[in-house]
Amino acid sequence: MTSTVLLWFRLDLRLLDNPALAAALQSGSAVIPVFVLDDSTPGTWPLGGASRWWLHHSLSRLDTALQAKGFHSMVYLKGDAFLQIQALAKDVKAKAVYWNRRYEPWAMERDTRLKKSLKAQKILAQSFSSYLLFEPWEVKNKTGGDYRVFTPFAKACLSHHIHHPERVPPDKPQMPEQVIKRLSLNDLGLHPSIAWHTTMSETWEPGEEGAQKRLKTFSTTAGEYKNTRDFPAMDGVSRLSPHLHFGEISPHHAWASLKNEAFRRQLLWREFSYHLLYHAQDMPDTEWNKKFTHFPWQKDGHLLRLWQKGQTGYPIVDAGMRQLWQTGWMHNRVRMIAGSFLVKNLLLNWREGEKWFWDTLVDADLANNAAGWQWIAGCGADAAPYFRIFNPVLQSKKFDPDGAYIKKHVPELQNCPKQFIHAPWDAPEDIKGRYKDYLPPVVDHATARTAALAAYEECKNAEID
């Protein structure tokens, strides 16, 4: 009788450079690929809407690619992965379970319990490094501790060897003797039906093939990345973030393929976010800098909704928020501008921005999202100082000088002359008539800046509990 092993897919939805897949094939056993939708483990952040859309399409394409290579079709399960994997392993009499590691606190705790439980049942349980260039615990400072500042962390990473990825496609596997029937992909309920996702389909191609196409496209312009990455009207960034998040391309593959120093630095920021999360597991919920525990955040649901809808009256902010809603993604420079506006102009809690991005970004990632918002708010590791408050008008003039990005995403301003596109409230009354449907600013930047600095002083002088 042919022995069987489980290949548990998570955030590694690819065939190339997949160490768990390679180990499963090398076992000489029949391989059963499995995916578990687990929103029930304590501490889990349930997937946001945009992530669920992406995951549905990525799984569909991975399943097709696996079957084309001779694998059993994907076995879909839903519920507590600790229980689901054990039950499936028992049902198919699996001799081993292979998976690639995840680094969210709840996932690490669950996987440790699962390994112990499987081994107690005489089932081999092996996990592999696949999601990051380095394990979060591998990069240490000179005293053996963790890093708090990005630049020395990046230098330490560069002093380590980064392995060249294995790109050979998998050999044809053995098929199990029985067909395993569980849920269908549609049973997972990942794919929403609202029309908003039509734009998403026109913008993105989830899956490993889409990742490779995007990598190839970006490689032709990567040499200009340092000069173009801050201009949202230009196609100057990689747009690889959702592919990296879902593991449709490995960071090793991206690193080896793109030798651009500025881009590689962004990959190291990704590493730094996971380094921080590993050493501060409450980072998604709690300020890294504990002084900010006392920050006097305001509560204003109306202002929050205007920000979410892109109706703040500041064109560059509104363009970014509408791009996010329409496409599930926002240019990184605009993320900083829109984020700064939320926390420093509106004085709304950074957690509100974190939650909104989690629900609406196709690249929503626990470590990167939390670290990014804490950086913007000034309460994170190596964060922008709180008193650094982006002026949305100056940022708009600098990074979208012709207003092309604004006009693409804010149709009310199509007829606004270039000289007023960044601050349309400054135009003469007869000009304002051309875009009368565009709302006035919800706050005055100068006034808001003064209030933010006062709040910062109050926070700075507070005692830490």
* pLDDT tens digits, 188-236: 999 876 555 567 888 899 999 999 999 999 999 999 999 999 999 999 9
Give the number of domains in the chain. 3
Same domain, 72 and 154: no
Could you report the per-residue pLDDT of 52-72, keeping only the tens digit for each?
999 999 999 999 999 999 999
Question: Quick one: pLDDT band at residue 399, thresholds 50, 70, 90?
Answer: very high
Residue 197 pLDDT? 55
Residue 35 pLDDT? 98
Q: How many residues does the chain have?
A: 465
Q: Which among 251, 279, 307 is the end of a domain?
A: 279
Question: Quick one: pLDDT band at residue 427, thresholds 50, 70, 90?
Answer: very high
Q: Which among 241, 260, 279 is the end of a domain?
A: 279
62 domain-assigned: yes
Q: How far apart are CA 437 and CA 411, in angstroms?
A: 10
Q: What is the mean pLDDT of the chain?
A: 93
Give the domain CATH number at 116.
Answer: 3.40.50.620
Q: Which among 279, 299, 315 is the end of a domain?
A: 279
The residue range of the domain holding 47 is 1-130
Query: Whose CA is closest to 315, among 234, 453, 417, 433?
Result: 417
Residue 247 pLDDT? 98
Q: Which of 184-198, 238-252, 331-345 has the lowest mean pLDDT?
A: 184-198
Same domain, 226 and 315: no
Q: How far apart are CA 58 and CA 266, in angstroms?
A: 24
Q: How far apart are CA 53 and CA 362, in angstroms?
A: 8
Higher per-residue pLDDT: 352 or 197: 352
Q: Is the predicted pLDDT of residue 260 greater than 90, yes or no? A: yes
Same domain, 120 and 256: no
185 domain-assigned: no
Find the mean pLDDT for residues 147-152: 96
3-class secondary structure per residue, the chain: CCCEEEEEECCCCCCCCCHHHHHHHHCCCEEEEEEEECCCCCCCCCCCHHHHHHHHHHHHHHHHHHHHCCCCCCEEEECCHHHHHHHHHHHCCEEEEEEECCCCHHHHHHHHHHHHHHHHCCCEEEEECCCCCCCCCCCCCCCCCCCCCHHHHHHHHHCCCCCCCCCCCCCCCECCCCCCCCECCHHHCCCCCCCCHHHHHHHCCCCHHHHHHHHHHHHCCHHHHHHHCCCCCCCCCCCCHHHHHCCCCCHHHHHHHCCCHHHHHHHHHHHHHHHHHHHCCCCCCCCCCHHHHHCCCECCHHHHHHHHHCCCCCHHHHHHHHHHHHHCCCCHHHHHHHHHHHHHHCCECHHHHHHHHHHHCCCCCHHHHHHHHHHHHCCCCCCCCCCCCCCHHHHHHHHCCCCHHHHHHCHHHCCCCHHHCCCHHHCCHHHHHHHCCCCCCCCCHHHHHHHHHHHHHHHHCCCCC
Residue 269 pLDDT? 97
Higher per-residue pLDDT: 365 or 1: 365
Higher per-residue pLDDT: 174 or 412: 412
Residue 291 pLDDT? 85
pTM of the predicted model over 0.85: yes
Could you report the per-residue pLDDT of 109-144, keeping only the tens digit for each?
999 999 999 999 999 999 999 999 999 999 999 999
Same domain, 41 and 84: yes
Q: Is the predicted pLDDT of residue 450 greater than 80, yes or no? A: yes
Q: Which of 144-153, 222-231, 291-300, 322-331 has the lowest mean pLDDT?
A: 291-300
Q: Is the predicted pLDDT of residue 384 greater than 80, yes or no? A: no
Give the domain CATH number at 303.
Answer: 1.10.579.10
Residue 447 pLDDT? 96
Give the domain CATH number at 157.
Answer: 1.25.40.80
Same domain, 112 and 140: no
Residue 13: both structure tokens together: 């939805």
Same domain, 376 and 441: yes
Residues near 332 by beta carbon (within 8 Å), at least 6 away in sequence? 229, 237
Same domain, 153 and 249: yes
Same domain, 261 and 308: no
Find the mean pLDDT for residues 264-279: 97
177 domain-assigned: no
Question: Quick one: pLDDT band at residue 387, thresholds 50, 70, 90?
Answer: confident
Q: How far apart are CA 395 and CA 335, in angstroms?
A: 12
148 domain-assigned: yes
Same domain, 220 and 324: no
Q: Is the predicted pLDDT of residue 289 greater than 80, yes or no? A: yes
Q: Which of 66-80, 111-125, 160-174, 357-371 has the lowest mean pLDDT?
A: 160-174
Same domain, 272 and 404: no
Same domain, 40 and 79: yes
173 domain-assigned: no
Q: Is the predicted pLDDT of residue 410 greater than 80, yes or no? A: yes
Same domain, 267 and 380: no
Q: Is the predicted pLDDT of residue 294 greater than 60, yes or no? A: yes
Percentage with pLDDT > 90 across the chain:
85
Question: Quick one: pLDDT band at residue 179, thresholds 50, 70, 90?
Answer: confident
Query: Whose CA is closest to 395, among 317, 313, 308, 312?
Result: 317
